[in-house]
Amino acid sequence: QVQLVESGGGLVQPGGSLRLSCVASGRIFMIYPMGWYRQAPGKQRELVAVIHNSGDTNYVDSVKGRFTVSRDNAKNTVSLQMNSLKPEDTAVYYCNARIQTYDMVVREYWGQGTQVTVSS
């Protein structure tokens, strides 16, 4: 019923930038928080950034001042601008959204993940 599709991952040198995008499609009535998680090898998945309908944002401390999350409600998209990337940012990044479909069911959805590798 609902799909989240990410794009924009890749290989970048330390200090470089990448922009991730995610578009939600399907029988969407309302999207609540949208955000990004990441999972590095051998580590638990962690919340990186979230943006609410109001535009309020939250970030994990390690990315504050370097990453910016934004959303376009008209296009059902969420983006993550990542600057000053560090090797420790290397992970698979997942788009996440809490979505209400037209049958009024609210549930959490995940994208398939996109690899971000920061290395020289």
The pair of structure tokens assigned to 110 is 């995940």
- Residues 31, 98 contacting (CB under 8 angstroms): yes
**Could you tell me if 91 and 116 are in contact, meaning their C-beta atoms sit under 8 angstroms apart?**
yes
Q: Please write the tens of the pLDDT for every residue from 11-41.
A: 999 999 999 999 999 999 999 999 999 999 9
Provide the pLDDT confidence category of residue 106 given band limits of 50, 70 and 90.
Answer: very high
Q: Helix (H, G, I), strand (E, B), or coil: what is residue 76?
A: coil
Distance CA 81, CA 51 (A): 13
Average pLDDT of the chain, as a whole number: 97
